[in-house]
Chains A and B, each alone.
Chain A
Amino acid sequence: MTNNPRKIKKALILADVAAGEIQQSFWELLTKVKQICPEAICGAVYIGGEYPEARETLRQSGVDVLYAAEDALLDIFRPDYHCLMLETAIRDFDPDLLLICATAEGEELAPTMGVRFRTGVAAHCVDLKIDEEGEPVCLVPAFGGKVVGEIYIPATRPRIATIKAGIFSASNQTREQKTCPTVIPIDTEVLKSRHGSIEPIGIVESAPGGRSVDKADLVVCGGYGLKDKDAFASLEKLAEYFAGAVGYTRPAVESGRPENERNLIGTSGKTVTPKVYVGFGVSGATHHVCGMKNAGTVISVNNDPNAAIFGMSDFYAVGDASKILDAMTAITEP
């Protein structure tokens, strides 16, 4: 088996780091690599501005190799620059497997690498495993998560996979200081001589909209059946009481009730795994369920006795979602 061509000898992870902060998804991907190919040489790539602390944390994260493209020019995502830096790291490391977090940036980087390296990309994997033959297989959702399909990338390297944050679980392990790798710098000078046709001119921050759903133990979710805008204020109150967060479905966003779509849950939004999920007026459409199906306890309220969400709930009530929500917020008030 030592010469098994399918075996992953080298795995590379693009570290998801936002403004110097290493995102949880990096630990999730690292944990997965250690699980499925513990013998592989594991590398990480950092591309961004100069944040020595983040770089040091990555160096001690348990990886065997760390590439870093650090430059103020890379502080704001630029597709042309970031793709070139990642391409450089891949050419040098020559991995069999490349994992990228499916952020807005990662979703642009992964397919680009697919063409540049003439290889396949599996998008938004919900699992990654090694089959009986020793071949890596990605499980990817299609049709809004209604269907899950296996994807193999048998003949080309690296096999590329993107994974949304929150899909895998993480166990943070740091290694002994003395065994940490030295950082391999990626030359950023080359960027200065490139006059690309894309120039970032600023960032428009979204309005802060309460706690983020990906880190909360309780997620209360508003669906299309939660009729008025006031109900979303009640959701905030209820979430606040438990230090939880408010999420919503795509139809709720389209009806314009939540302020923005930062906490949209589902195929085109976030994947959440809170200890408790409570859906108010959520129908249970595939696109949404795909993003919350791994929650600990699922509670739902809908006035439609045949709502699909009931079959995917641990506890449910048939009734007016706004009224039950208001009765719950009333309990939180002293």
Chain B
Amino acid sequence: MQILVCVKPVPDPEKYDLLMIDPETRRLIREGIPTVINPADKNALEAALRIKDTTEASITVLSMAPDFCADRIRECLAMGADEAYLLSDIRFGGADTYATSRTLMKGIETIGLAPDLILAGNESADGATAHVPVQLAEWLGLPHIANVSSIERDTRAGQAPGAASWIIHKKAEQGHIRYRARPPILLSVERNSNRPRIVSALGVVKSKKKKLEILRFDALDVSSDTVGYAGSPTKAGALSIPDLSRTGQRVAGTPAEIAAAFMDIIKKSI
């Protein structure tokens, strides 16, 4: 079985309180914020690794990111993925979810992958649109299920190994919807749906021998008006950091006094 996992390196979501906007250029200052693999993408990779733990499977990791993110992609190999491709070119920059997902599709075409299962984190920590996985499936003409919280083998008797289907749980408003799904399919995996494994020292050593190939603009069958900012139907305008400050009146005293004061405020305000 061939599994493709899509990952995105993002600024560490634990550090977003440090983000600032340069007052002159109006651009985002990310300095001092390290890059990490998007948390939900690690859950997607872990879901793939768990399938590989019990079945004959190969896992390819695909990402679109600048070259400096290669080390983060190698982490995915250290976790246990078999090979990785990084789509990296200055012309891919400024892409919205539409152009990103299309470029990923072109990468899959170029590599010549025909995965049975494509897994990706449901949303990235930075943009958090949850668009890219679903849009990638659409470009590939594959069915998709988003907000997936669990992936299990369908254990009904009499299934041909090649046609094995999956039991998928999708998080929905009322709880979870269960689906039976046949490959090939794309699943967007919920953050925290599993506990991603820790990279071992042996994993790191092994990862150095695994293939991590960088594919540039020229390697893909794309034109410059279909990638990056030029290929994006959404255009970004001004950025701002909303001012959420309030007057902040401190209430002091014993817990009982504070409690009484707060109870009064609640009663008056609702």
B252–chain A nearest beta-carbon distance, Å = 7
A323-B181 Cα distance, complex, nearest whole Å: 50
A197: chain B residues within 8 A (beta carbon): 143, 181-183, 185
B225–chain A nearest beta-carbon distance, Å = 12
CB pair B266 A143 closer than 8 Å: no
CB pair B250 A317 closer than 8 Å: yes
State whether the Cβ of A132 lies closer than 8 Å to any Cβ in chain B. Answer: no
State whether the Cβ of A285 lies closer than 8 Å to any Cβ in chain B. Answer: yes
B127–chain A nearest beta-carbon distance, Å = 6
Residue of chain A at shortest CB distance from B144: A79
Instruction: Tally B residues with Cβ within 8 Å of A.
Output: 80
State whether the Cβ of A144 lies closer than 8 Å to any Cβ in chain B. Answer: yes
B172: chain A residues within 8 A (beta carbon): 77, 104-105, 203
Given contacts A120-B232, A152-B235, A297-B269, contact A147 B21 (CB under 8 A): yes
State whether the Cβ of B247 lies closer than 8 Å to any Cβ in chain A. Answer: yes
Query: Which of B16, B235, B245 sits near A151, CB closer than 8 Å?
Result: B235
A293: chain B residues within 8 A (beta carbon): 242, 244
Proximity bits, B9-28, A CB within 8 Å = 1, else 0: 00101001101010000001
State whether the Cβ of B157 lies closer than 8 Å to any Cβ in chain A. Answer: no
CB pair A242 B125 closer than 8 Å: no
Given contacts A205-B175, A311-B248, A312-B246, contact A317 B128 (CB under 8 A): no
A205-B172 Cα distance, complex, nearest whole Å: 9
A315-B265 Cα distance, complex, nearest whole Å: 9
B26–chain A nearest beta-carbon distance, Å = 11
Question: Per DSSP, are chain A's interface residues mostly helix, strand or loop, or mixed?
Answer: mixed
Given contacts A80-B143, A311-B248, contact A201 B173 (CB under 8 A): no
Residues 60-114 of A contacting B (Cβ, < 8 Å): 76-80, 103-105, 107-108, 110-112, 114
A151-B97 Cα distance, complex, nearest whole Å: 12
CB pair A324 B135 closer than 8 Å: no
CB pair A149 B237 closer than 8 Å: yes
Query: Which of A142, A275, A297 sits near B127, CB closer than 8 Å?
Result: A142
B176–chain A nearest beta-carbon distance, Å = 4
CB pair A123 B21 closer than 8 Å: no
CB pair A104 B147 closer than 8 Å: yes
State whether the Cβ of A184 lies closer than 8 Å to any Cβ in chain B. Answer: no
State whether the Cβ of B138 lies closer than 8 Å to any Cβ in chain A. Answer: yes
A44-52, A153-161, A185-193: which one contacts chain B? A153-161
Listed by A's residue number, 22 A-B pairs whose Cβ atoms lie within 8 Å are: A18-B173, A107-B146, A108-B147, A112-B135, A114-B233, A119-B98, A120-B232, A120-B233, A121-B98, A146-B17, A147-B28, A197-B143, A199-B179, A199-B181, A203-B172, A204-B169, A205-B174, A218-B270, A276-B269, A314-B248, A315-B248, A327-B259
A residues in contact (CB < 8 Å) with B: 18-19, 76-80, 103-105, 107-108, 110-112, 114-116, 118-124, 137, 141-156, 196-206, 217-218, 242, 244, 254, 267-268, 275-276, 278, 285-287, 289, 293, 296-299, 301, 308, 310-320, 323-324, 326-328, 330-331
Please give 12 more A-B residue pairs, beta carbons under 8 A apart, in addition to A202-B178, A244-B270: A108-B134, A121-B131, A137-B237, A146-B16, A150-B239, A199-B181, A203-B174, A205-B174, A275-B270, A287-B13, A315-B250, A317-B262
